Each structure stands twice: as structure tokens, then as C-alpha cells.
Amino acid sequence: MQDVQRTILSQYSCAPSLTALITAWNQAFDPKTLIDTWYKTIWNLETAQGYGLDVWGRIVGVQRILPVTADNFLGFSETQDLTQTPFNTAPWYAGVATTSNYRLSDDGFRQLIYAKALANITDGSVTSLNAILMTIFAGQGDAWVEESGGMSMVYSFNFIPTPVQISLIQNSGVLPRPAGVHVTYSVKDKA
């Protein structure tokens, strides 16, 4: 109820007990505060927190907890992921990689949700893939898509991704792989 005075008969409009009682009921039953809180913490992705972000994650198809491979292994430039390291800096692959679960913060998860929502509606063009990269890695360094010809492309990064970022890049499904296109990954600046 918004204007309780319009609901009171004119003969009772000056009765203080009745108007106080109806005003108190109006405040108690008014759903405006509840609706505003629900909109802010669940429905509005820009301000959602905790459970609200978990709901959005289920809607777009991502999870807050990511399995992160914590180990790097000896690799060569021919490998197509971001875990290879040169001689004398990493062990040989023994057949089992150590994984741990990492829980994204609300801000990190919000960024992942935006990126996955973009990936869900992307047309697979270089422009839209670059928009996804700019959403995920805003302020961390340059990241872009290169067409390398022959139905292949490269996700390039001008910074060294953290293990969590590597998990986002390779395992979360946020970076799309257009149908029939071979995808590789490259770190341009390893300094």
C-alpha cells in the first residue's frame, strides 16, 4: 500500500489509533524494501553478491570453484597450452598433475559470468573474441586473438597468466573455440 489515507473512510481519518495502526501495517507489509534488496543482491549482476552470483553462474553455465593445476612441467613450444616451461626450471611430467580447487571472489566470479555470457552469444568473430578477452583480463595486460590461417587461431597474452588465469583460459569453457578451428595459446612476453 502506498497511500493509506485514501483507504480510510473520511469519518475515521482523524482517529489517531486507527491511522497509527494502519500506517504500521503499511510499513510491515510493504514489499518495496524486500524487492529492492532482492534486486540489488540477486537480480542486478553489477551489484549481486554471494548467492545471487551463484544463481547467475548457474544461468550462464560457470562455477565459482575452479580446478587449478598447480604444477608446471617441462615442455616445448609445440605444446598448445600455457603450462610448458623450459629446461632446468620444471620437472618431467610423471603422469599425474597436482590439482587444487580455487574459489573465485565475488568480483572475479562476476567477471567470469560476464565473459561466459558473452561467450554464449558470440558469433565467433575475432572482434567478439577480443571483447571476451578484454572483459576477463581488464587492466592485467594485453590479450588478443590472432588468425593464423588454415582454420587455426591463437589466443595471445602479453603477460604471464597466473595458474588461476590459466585455468580460466583452458578449462573453464569461457574462451570459445569456433567450430572446425584449431586453437593454440601463446605468451608473447615472458619477462
**Domain for residue 32, yes or no?**
no
Round to whole Å and give the CA distance between 64 and 106: 9
**Domain for residue 121, yes or no?**
yes
Please tell me the total count of domains within the chain: 1
Round to whole Å and give the CA distance between 167 and 63: 12
The pTM of the full predicted model, rounded to 2 decimals, is 0.65
Question: What are 19-73's pLDDT values in tens digits?
Answer: 788 778 777 777 788 889 999 999 999 999 999 999 999 999 988 888 776 555 5
**Domain for residue 37, yes or no?**
no
- Give the domain range for residue 95: 51-187
**Domain for residue 66, yes or no?**
yes
Give the mean pLDDT of the chain.
Answer: 79
Round to whole Å and give the CA distance between 15 and 12: 5
pLDDT at 78 over 50: no
Nearest alpha carbon to residue 89 among 75, 69, 70: 75
Nearest alpha carbon to residue 42 among 20, 32, 61, 57: 57
Query: Roughly what angle, to the nearest 10 degrees, separates helices 106-121 and 51-60?
Result: 20
Question: What are 142-188's pLDDT values in tens digits?
Answer: 889 988 888 898 888 888 887 778 878 877 778 888 888 888 888 87
Q: In degrees to the nearest 10, what's the CA dihedral of 96, 73, 171, 53?
A: 100
